[in-house]
């Protein structure tokens, strides 16, 4: 079981790196939803079903919907060229 949780944590970190690296904002938001989903499954394995339910609905559902509405209203599909 710890192998499965390690795999889930690795998938979560990969999704977070993808959320940082994607230039298109829609793709970054979907990667953020994937982070919330894997975090919800890890919460279930940590014997916290209430927190898993809250994270799944609020993190993966409502936060993604809110982000998509905001991206649609700012009419920006692509991130600007990075000025670091």
Partner 1 sequence: MSFLADYVHYVGSFGLVLIGLYIVLVKSNLIKVIIGINLIDTGVNLFLVSVGYIRMGTAPIFSEAEAAGRQMVDPVPQALVLTAIVIGVSVVALALSVAIRLYEHYGTLDLGKIRELKW
Partner 2 sequence: MRKALSLVVLLVLALGLASALRGPSIGAEANRGELLDDQKVNFGRRYNSRAVEETGASNVVASVLVTYRGLDTLGEVTVLFIAALGLAVLLHTGRDRKSGKEAEPPSLILFTGCRFVFPLILLFGAYIFVHGHLTPGGGFQGGAVVASGFLLIYLGCRGRQPDRERLNVVESLSGVAFVVIGLIGLAVGGSFLLNFLPKGSPYALLSAGIIPVVYVLIGFKVGCELGGIVGDLSGARR
Q: Does 65 bind partner 2 (CB under 8 A)?
A: yes
User: 49 or 79: whose CB is closer to partner 2?
Assistant: 49
State how far the Cα of 84 lies from the Cα of 78, in Å rounded to an integer: 17
Q: Which stretch binds partner 2 (CB under 8 A): 7-15, 24-32, 34-42, 62-70?
A: 62-70
Query: Nearest-CA neighbor of 59 among 33, 25, 27?
Result: 33
Which positions lie near partner 2, rule CB under 8 A?
49-50, 53-54, 57-58, 61-62, 65-66, 69-70, 73, 84
């Amino acid at each position: 079981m710890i192998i499965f949780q390690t795999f889930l944590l690795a998938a979560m970190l990969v999704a977070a790196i993808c959320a940082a690296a994607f230039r298109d904002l829609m793709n970054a938001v979907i990667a953020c939803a994937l982070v919330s989903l894997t975090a919800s499954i890890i919460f279930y394995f940590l014997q916290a079903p209430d927190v898993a339910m809250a994270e799944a609905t609020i993190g993966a559902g409502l936060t993604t919907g809110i982000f998509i509405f905001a991206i649609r209203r700012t009419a920006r599909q692509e991130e600007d060229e990075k000025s670091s």
